[in-house]
Amino acid sequence: MTTPDTQRPRPGSDILRTALRRNIGAMAWGTLLMGLYQAGETAFPIALGLIVEHTMRDRSLGALGLSIGALAVIITTVSLSWRFGMRILQKANTTEAHRWRVKVAACGLQPVARDVDLKSGEVLTIATEDADQTADIIEVVPLLISSLVAVLVAAVALGLADIRLGLLVIVGTVAILSILSVLSQRIGSSTQEQQARVARAGAKVADLITGLRPLHGFGGNHAAFRSYRKVSTEAKLQAITVAKVNGAYAGTALALNAVLAAAVTLTAGWLAFNGRINIGELVMAVGLAQFIMEPLKLFSEMPKYVMIARASAERMALVLTAPPVTTPGPQRPATGGDLEIDCVRYGTLRNLKFQVTAGEFVAIAPYQPRAAADLASVLAVNVPPDAYEGVVRVSGQELADLSIEAVRAHMLVNPYDGEIFAGTLRTNIDPSGTSRTVPEAVEASMLTDVVALHREGLDYAVRDRGANLSGGQRQRLSLARALAADTEVLVLHDPTTAVDAVTEQLIARNVAKLRRGRTTIVITSSPALLDAADRVLVLDDGVITAEDTHRNLLAKDEAYCLAVAR
């Protein structure tokens, strides 16, 4: 008795079926044209046999000219059917690969992360190589059918000459496919493992590039290179294993096809020698024996490509069918900038509780950097609400009841290590191109000197990860982007750690001025930002231990002085 789990189709199979179903029209035309191509190829040796037979019997120039015309028609049919058939199939293949790439990318860019144990580099490999190999099924099926057509036409033509020749082709083809189907399963499992290892190597490279600067800083680049070389070597060894399996498969297929062709040729020769078939039929049989190797080779390779496509589809299913980490609510935050943290326990946070009213500029001074990171993660909804105790309320509504997209549009949490993208200063500050406060954001973040330094101004080209900017410039660019978003609630995590003290003072005043009347929370130990805030909350050992203005805390709290004094 089968269980519901065993009855449910595998996700990879679902992906392949979806690809086939929505390209049925292109595949039908491609199959028709490729079948016509294979039929034309098969007709060529048959026509040669008939020409030899009739020419030797009639010895007429007219018959010879008619035969040459018939061969020209066959060659033209073969050429045009291949050209247009492959054009249709490759267009459908490319379009389908694009659809799956977009779908995988969309999953990776959703506001709610998926519960899948894959690194970003692995997802990139799935969105490129695996998407392409999955879409290959669009070409594989028509080529498989057209090859079958060629084999059947050849078998029928040989069977009309002598039933033994037709049966030999059919039985030999079934035997070849049976043997190769076993080898193709090995190729599928080996290829899936190779793709996984290559993806892990790609993920390793992405991680190393991200951390290249700090690696150079403490001399860890050599150890990192050795780590990558180990992962890459594992991928190389698996690739060699796959190459060996592919080589064995191709060699076996070629040998079996050659054996079948030789068997057909020898059998035809024996039948002609014994007077069972005439000279024309012998020419046809020998020609078909040579021709049949191409469709047989193509036919025998198809199971391998099917297994590769299925292996890639299974890897795509890891992303596409993975459940979301959390199921967000449908509501949107109400108007207003209130923020309440009510008895939150997560990581280093222990029963954390505080409230920020709409329009306030509040600074949080963390004594432990880990607590600051945990608080920023909770507010950014990088941690699902069901993963911590307590409640976070935005404008009086619980975070768990709100749409994550709506929360992030209402409350922006800008990380201390904000990513810089290849493009221009303008596209980094205003990615959507809809902000009306770009000039004010540039001025408040003190990015004006960077803009003035270059003739292109805001259109100055920024390299990948801001490689042509200093650390302070990248940090100010990230701050400008956060300010230009102009959200109702803004949370900044250490926005000025890489700038000098004078610039920090100016940024603190500018941010307070620009954000006046809207809720702003700065998680920082910067004296300038702490002094600009309406009040300061001291976060120590996971709880709020003090609350006052920066200057009052300096006057009466020695621990606070030691923590923030520079």
SS3 447: coil
Residue with tokens 């509040």: 362
Q: Which H or E run includes 350? A: strand 349-356
pLDDT at position 194, please?
59
pLDDT at position 7, please?
41
**pLDDT tens track for 242-258:** 677 777 777 887 788 78
Q: Are 184 and 307 a contacting pair, CB within 8 Å?
A: yes
Residues in the chain: 566
Contacts of 552 (CB under 8 A, 6+ apart): none
Confidence category of residue 4, pLDDT binned at 50, 70, 90: very low
Residues 411, 559 share a domain: yes
Query: Shortest CA distance to 228 belongs to which of 200, 207, 204?
Result: 204
Confidence category of residue 160, pLDDT binned at 50, 70, 90: confident
Q: Are 483 and 505 a contacting pair, CB within 8 Å?
A: no
Over residues 504-527, the mean pLDDT reads 95
Residues 284, 200 share a domain: yes
Q: In sequence order, what DSSP letters do the residues of 183-250 get, joined into one string?
A: HHHHHHHHHHHHHHHHHHHHHHHHHHHHTHHHHHHTT-HHHHHHHHHHHHHHHHHHHHHHHHHHHHHH
Does position 215 have pLDDT exceeding 50, yes or no?
no
pLDDT at position 532, please?
96
pLDDT at position 282, please?
78
**Cα–chain center distance at 413:** 26
Residues 287, 204 share a domain: yes
Q: How far apart are CA 386 and CA 400, in angstroms?
A: 8
1 located within any domain = no
pLDDT at position 455, please?
92
Q: How far apart are CA 446 and CA 10, in angstroms?
A: 55
Cβ atoms < 10 Å from Cβ of 512: 18
Q: Which of 5-9, 440-444, 474-478 is predicted with the least confidence, judged by mean pLDDT?
A: 5-9
What residues pair up with 519 in beta bridges, in sequence order?
A: 489
Residues 292, 382 share a domain: no
Does position 173 have pLDDT exceeding 60, yes or no?
yes
503 located within any domain = yes
Residues 228, 350 share a domain: no
Over residues 133-160, the mean pLDDT reads 85
| CATH (domain of 516) | 3.40.50.300
Q: Which H or E run includes 411? A: strand 411-414
328 located within any domain = no
pLDDT at position 198, please?
63
Confidence category of residue 192, pLDDT binned at 50, 70, 90: low
Q: How far apart are CA 443 and CA 43, in angstroms?
A: 77
Residues 494, 554 share a domain: yes
pLDDT at position 491, please?
97
Q: Are 249 and 258 a contacting pair, CB within 8 Å?
A: no
136 located within any domain = yes
SS3 396: coil
Q: Which of 113-117, 268-272, 390-394, 458-462 is predicted with the least confidence, judged by mean pLDDT?
A: 113-117
- Residue ranges making up the domain that contains 186: 9-320
Q: In sequence order, what DSSP letters do the residues of 491-505 get, joined into one string?
A: EEESTTTTS-HHHHH
From 320, 349, 376, the end of a domain falls on 320
Over residues 377-386, the mean pLDDT reads 91
Does position 460 have pLDDT exceeding 90, yes or no?
yes
Domains contained in the chain, number? 2
| CATH (domain of 80) | 1.20.1560.10
437 located within any domain = yes
User: Percent helix, strand, coil in the chain (nearest 5)?
Assistant: 70, 10, 20
pLDDT at position 530, please?
96
**Cα–chain center distance at 237:** 24
Q: Are 506 and 526 a contacting pair, CB within 8 Å?
A: no
Query: Shortest CA distance to 493 belongs to which of 516, 525, 534?
Result: 525
Does position 462 have pLDDT exceeding 50, yes or no?
yes
What residues pair up with 536 in beta bridges, in sequence order?
A: 363, 548
Edge-to-edge strand order for the sheet containing 489-493?
A: 411-414, 489-493, 519-523, 361-366, 535-540, 543-548
- What b/e sequence results for 77-86 when a residue is b if at least 16 CB atoms lie within 10 Å of its CB, and e otherwise? bbeebbebbb
Residues 364, 315 share a domain: no
Does position 554 have pLDDT exceeding 90, yes or no?
yes
Confidence category of residue 232, pLDDT binned at 50, 70, 90: confident
Q: How far apart are CA 537 and CA 239, in angstroms?
A: 56
Does position 178 have pLDDT exceeding 90, yes or no?
no
158 located within any domain = yes
546 located within any domain = yes
pLDDT at position 546, please?
95
Does position 273 have pLDDT exceeding 90, yes or no?
no
Residues 307, 369 share a domain: no
218 located within any domain = yes
From 287, 320, 353, the end of a domain falls on 320
Confidence category of residue 436, pLDDT binned at 50, 70, 90: very high
Over residues 543-552, the mean pLDDT reads 95
Residues 484, 395 share a domain: yes
Does position 341 have pLDDT exceeding 90, yes or no?
yes
pLDDT at position 52, please?
66
Of the two residues 520 and 467, the one the predictor is more confident about is 520
Residues 442, 360 share a domain: yes
Over residues 478-492, the mean pLDDT reads 95
Does position 5 have pLDDT exceeding 50, yes or no?
no
Q: Are 362 and 421 a contacting pair, CB within 8 Å?
A: no
**pLDDT tens track for 304-335:** 788 788 888 988 888 888 888 778 888 999 88
Query: Shortest CA distance to 512 belongs to which of 483, 475, 485, 547?
Result: 483
pLDDT at position 123, please?
76
Query: What is the phi/psi pair of residue 530, to 5°?
Result: -65, -40
pLDDT at position 59, please?
60
From 320, 351, 385, the end of a domain falls on 320
Q: Which of 23-27, 264-268, 363-367 is predicted with the least confidence, judged by mean pLDDT?
A: 264-268
What DSSP state is assigned to residue 363? E
pLDDT at position 337, please?
84
**pLDDT tens track for 54-103:** 665 656 666 667 667 777 888 888 889 989 999 999 999 999 999 999 99
Supply 194's token pair. Answer: 């190779």
Over residues 190-216, the mean pLDDT reads 57
Residues 508, 423 share a domain: yes
pLDDT at position 2, please?
41
Q: What's the mean pLDDT when you consider all of the chain?
A: 84
Of the two residues 185 and 377, the one the predictor is more confident about is 377
Residues 269, 214 share a domain: yes
SS3 552: helix
Contacts of 506 (CB under 8 A, 6+ apart): 446
Q: How far apart are CA 536 and CA 508, in angstroms?
A: 14
Percent residues over pLDDT 70 in the chain:
85
